[in-house]
Amino acid sequence: MNPADVSPLILERWACRRCRGPISVDGEAASCRVCGASFPILERIPCFEKPAPQPDDPDAPELTIVIPAWNEEANISRLLADLREVLASLGVRSEVCVVDGGSRDRTREVSGEAGARVILQKGKGFGRALRDGFDAARGRWILTLDADLSHPASFVKSLWAARDRGDLIVASRYVPGAAFEAPWIRRTLSRLLNALFAKTLSLPVRDVSSNFRLYRADALKEVTIEGVHFEALEEILIKVFMSGRRLAEVPLHYGYRGGGRSKARIILFGLRLLATFFRMWRMRSSIDAADYDDRAYDSRIPLQRWWQRRRHRILLGWAEAGGGTVLDAGCGSGRLVQTLPRCVGLDLSLNKLRFLRDKGAAVVQGSLFGLPFKDGSFDVVVCSEVVEHLPDGDDPFRELARVLKPGGTLIVGTPDYGRPWWPLIEGLYARLHPQGYADEHITHYTAASLAAALARRGFEVLESRGILGAELIVRAKRKAT
Residue with the bigger pLDDT between 70 and 30: it is 70
**Measuring CA to CA, which residue among 291, 305, 274 is closest to residue 194?**
274
Q: Which CATH class is domain 290-478?
A: alpha beta
User: What is the CATH topology of the domain spanning 63-284?
Assistant: Spore Coat Polysaccharide Biosynthesis Protein SpsA; Chain A (3.90.550)
What pLDDT sits at residue 49? 47
State the average pLDDT over residues 248-254.
92
Distance CA(337)–CA(435), nearest Å, equals 24
Residue with the bigger pLDDT between 3 and 231: it is 231
What pLDDT sits at residue 254? 83
**Where residue 48 falls among pLDDT bands split at 50, 70, 90?**
very low
Residue with the bigger pLDDT between 264 and 465: it is 465
138-196: pLDDT as tens digits: 999 999 999 999 899 999 999 999 999 999 999 999 999 988 888 888 788 888 888 98
Distance CA(411)–CA(313), nearest Å, equals 13
pLDDT exceeds cutoff 60 at 9: no
Distance CA(331)–CA(337), nearest Å, equals 7
Q: Which residue type occupies 189?
A: L
Q: Which residues of 410-444 are buried (b: 16+ CB within 10 A; e: fewer)?
A: bbbbbbbbebebbeebbeebeeebeebbbeebebb
What pLDDT sits at residue 15? 53
State the average pLDDT over residues 129-138.
95
What pLDDT sits at residue 11? 39
Please, which residues have CB within 8 angstroms of residue 286's CB and are 6 or more apart in sequence? 292, 435, 436
Distance CA(121)–CA(69), nearest Å, equals 10
State the average pLDDT over residues 290-307.
92
Please, which residues have CB within 8 angstroms of residue 264's CB and are 6 or more apart in sequence? 186, 230
Residue by residue, DSSP assigns 311-343 as HHHHHHHHHHHH-S-EEEET-TT-SHHHH-TTE
194-241: pLDDT as tens digits: 898 899 889 999 999 899 999 999 999 989 999 888 889 999 999 999
Terminal-to-terminal C-alpha distance of the chain: 22
pLDDT exceeds cutoff 90 at 360: no
Q: Which residue type occupies 204?
A: P
Contacts 24+ apart (CB under 8 A), 8-15: 9/372, 10/364, 10/365, 10/366, 10/372, 11/41, 11/48, 13/50, 14/47, 14/48, 14/49, 14/50, 14/51, 15/48, 15/49, 15/50, 15/51, 15/52
Distance CA(85)–CA(96), nearest Å, equals 13
State the average pLDDT over residues 363-373.
87
Lowest mean pLDDT of 25-39, 64-78, 292-306, name the range: 25-39
**Where residue 269 falls among pLDDT bands split at 50, 70, 90?**
low
State the average pLDDT over residues 36-59.
52
What pLDDT sits at residue 8? 36
Distance CA(474)–CA(476), nearest Å, equals 6
Give the single-character DSSP code of 6: B
What pLDDT sits at residue 367? 86
pLDDT exceeds cutoff 90 at 424: no
Residue length of the chain: 481
**Measuring CA to CA, which residue among 208, 206, 185, 351 is closest to residue 276?**
208
State the average pLDDT over residues 411-419.
94
Share of the chain above pLDDT 90, in %: 56
Provide the residue ranges of all domains of the chain, joining segments of one domain with +.
1-51, 63-284, 290-478
**What is the distance of C-alpha 421 from the center of its chain?**
34
**Where residue 435 falls among pLDDT bands split at 50, 70, 90?**
low
pLDDT exceeds cutoff 50 at 12: no
Mean pLDDT of the chain: 84
Report whether 212 contacts 180 (CB < 8 A). Answer: no
Residue with the bigger pLDDT between 269 and 406: it is 406
What pLDDT sits at residue 91? 92
